[in-house]
Structure 1
């Protein structure tokens, strides 16, 4: 998926470089740019899945002056997490619940006009919030713990893109750079000879899928690519070898290399 032009700073971030991708309930609440041009996004605080997306670099965004928690734990141990646009139906008093709790309660903004950050009273050392189930009576609850989105800065020299990607990761990072027409990024994962192997030496190919490893020596994978602004689609081969201690794409052949189908029967030349 893409962000549809929405790459605002995450409202749940206490560190720079974390952005919100997309709009409405489909939006991803916190995204971290990765060094290969993609971003890893988290929608739920307690879901162990990340969405890996191709997106404009959001690393320049600044953290908000006052971030809202991604999730909280109440003093009784119940956890509640933000639900953004999918809040509970408005009550007769029109107060909205921006947080949904595991036991069915919601944490409500302090008035009908208040946005998400007003869900908590932070005036004392121990935060409190107004909780209720549906249209039931409001009860003040104490907050034991709050989670925010943060980040650990990684230098270019120690980033996975510089040294830690395996053959498949290196090949796919090169393919994404080609699809984005980013020759600078492609040069991080491929040699000049590999870049010259693209359309007349230019980054002009559209990438339709990730590489399928074929193994062998040198190690090779196959990917389906196409020519920009045309209906031409073909299989390309990428050869990946060790260069100065890390994997690099040393050969890229996008033209008429693997015309047979299915792809499993293709033997790279």
Structure 2
């Protein structure tokens, strides 16, 4: 049976901090670990938590998003509350230096006015690397970005990633050409994949779209999800999403480290209530 040190290492927080879109989540998990785990674990794990905290501050200048800054602010508050004096001073020093470097870098980016209007095909390629929520947000920037963000190719990819079986996904609907999706290879341009995704989306639990963390019951690990699935190989097979339980709060990460258990919400709690509100906020943008 693994101990807190092994379970903490398996979270791979240090590796996650390097990835810009994972930085806010990893930093918030780290802030909860500082507050509720640090004083309860051996010195070896305390040293590792401190090292990851300092790493988070050193990486902050590279994270040019407000969510990353907010997560770092929460992290320094936890460090001030949990760390002993000498280590607290070290963390505060790293944080202040990181904030100064972040402001300088942000200012330099704002002064760079040489922006070029990219062709739509280039934007579509760039947007193909975005998650679903970021893609919706990108479409609100301007008309050019909206046209690229609503490209059928992108939403067909998301449909395949989230719902897998495209034939059942379109529910036997036909394209404008009168042929089924399966029959018409060129139907991508005549079928509104974004609208179909939106309608299908309303029947799914919101955690699948709102969180990148999950607990794989097969691996007994908290993992970063890849298309709603565990990225680890299981005897040559990849775990399906039904093997995944959502990690909805850093409190669950704390419970996992200390007790090797998760404070999982009931499916009725995680799949209802906030789903309608979340779905409304995501899709309630005026049509153009």
- TM-score bracket, shorter-length normalisation: under 0.3
Structure showing the higher strand proportion among its residues: 1
| Bigger Rg, which one | 1
Which structure would you say has the larger RCO, counting Cα contacts within 8 Å and 6 or more residues apart? Answer: 2
| Larger relative helix fraction | 2
